[in-house]
Amino acid sequence: MMNKIRVLIVDDSAFIRKVLKDILESDQSVEVIAAAKNGKEAVDFLTRQEVDVITLDVEMPVMNGIDTLKEIMSFKPTPVVMLSSLTNEGADMTFKALDLGAVDFVAKPTNIFKMSSSDIQDDIITKVKEAAKVKTKKMSLKTVTEYIPKEPMESSRNLKPIPRDRRCEDVKKIIAIGTSTGGPRALQEVISNVSGKIDAPVLVVQHMPKGFTKSLAERLNGLSQLTVKEAEDGEPLCNGTVYIAPGDRHIEIKRIATGKYSIKLSDGPKVSGHKPSVDFMFQALSESTISDVIAVVMTGMGSDGTKGIVSLKNSKKSYNIAEDESTCVVFGMPKAAISTGQIDKIVPLGKIAMELNKIMGV
């Protein structure tokens, strides 16, 4: 008989603890072995017991989620799935948690009674089961502190204006990146190291709920030579700008004139189980008049992007890159893309930006 995934729930709400336990144990492969009402209780429990996955609330009394995560990662690294509120502060804390080594997060609905909706149940179960496969690394407290990127200066939280020499009239190439679990940290590594001189726009699909993608864009904007923003429907597509698809919209481009395009966002059904979808973005680019696409599939669970990679290659207009297994938090998406035989190069995370700069001739 297969061993069950042993889960520790950490949340200050008795109601949420009960709901999470019921949701997780509705799956035969999961067992909730304990529940703690704050971080101190959780850390004390971990000194005595082994667990496979921890669900950890961001906001708690006594010891909050961030301090608890630091403690866990410094003395007993364990895969952690954060539970975060759908607020700006909640999003900022979530990104800090992902920087510190949390595998993934689930957004708590504003109305906690909606925790039992089928979509949220599926999300929680899937992410906990996927987290159980991840090998976490031990960090010293010093390393943990150093690992968190410096917060951008307050003024840099405002989007950088597009410099005058950034042309929006002569778009010939597009870089398109798709990622999921582990994506925020992976994007930080890549986007912050892509040269500000690249003569192409960058489209990004990161599987993430509505509200979090804007915080992600602001965070990356403060760390990058490029302008990074959450995409807006109808805005011009400009070289040297990164457009992150909003958490509840598909992204594609619309031709306005020769070499001139705009962003098109759509509210259609999920594609490959997601909205935004990497497959949707790649497929749309394969059918566009853009003649040169550099497609990148990075860490993430599932196989979103695989069909799109094939479409791009069949259109004879793409150079396809997949992240190497050695640096993926979850190898699902890159593995599925590689299995098609349509990937041109497999690159570890730390060298993806270098590869993009080389392709772009900068």
* Domain residue limits, the chain: 5-147, 156-359
What is the token pair recorded at 250?
Answer: 């598909």
Q: What is the pLDDT of residue 141?
A: 43
| Token output for 291 | 């003649």
C-alpha to C-alpha distance for 120 and 124, rounded to whole angstroms: 6
Q: Which two tokens stand for residue 61?
A: 């009394």
Residues annotated as part of the active site: 180, 207, 304
- Reduced to 3 states (helix: H, G, I; strand: E, B; else coil), residue 9 is strand
The CB density around residue 264, as the number of other CB atoms within 10 Å, is 17
How does pLDDT run across 240-263, given as a tens digit for each residue? 999 999 999 999 999 999 989 999
The C-alpha atoms of residue 318 and residue 282 are separated, in whole angstroms, by 10
DSSP 3-state percent helix, strand, coil across the chain (nearest 5): 35, 25, 40
Task: Give the SS3 label for residue 43.
Answer: helix
Q: What are phi and psi of 30, to 5 degrees?
A: -120, 140
Q: What does pTM read for this prediction?
A: 0.90
Looking at residue 338, what is its pLDDT?
A: 98
Same fold, 5-147 and 156-359: yes
CA 155, CA 29: separation in Å to the nearest integer? 48
Give the CATH H-level superfamily of domain 5-147: Response regulator (3.40.50.2300)
Residue 284, burial from CB neighbour count under 10 angstroms (0-12, 13-18, 19+): buried
* pLDDT per residue as tens digits for the range 309-353: 999 999 988 999 999 999 999 999 999 999 999 999 999 999 999
Supply the angle between the helices 14-24 and 118-131 in degrees, to the nearest 10: 70
Report the pLDDT value the prediction gives residue 238, as an integer from 0 to 100.
Answer: 96
Positions in the chain short of pLDDT 70: 1-2, 86, 137-166
Contacts with 167 (C-beta within 8 Å, 6 or more apart), sequence order: 238, 239
| Reported CATH class of domain 156-359 | alpha beta
What letter represents residue 256's amino acid? I
The three-class DSSP label of residue 53 is strand
pLDDT of 157: 42
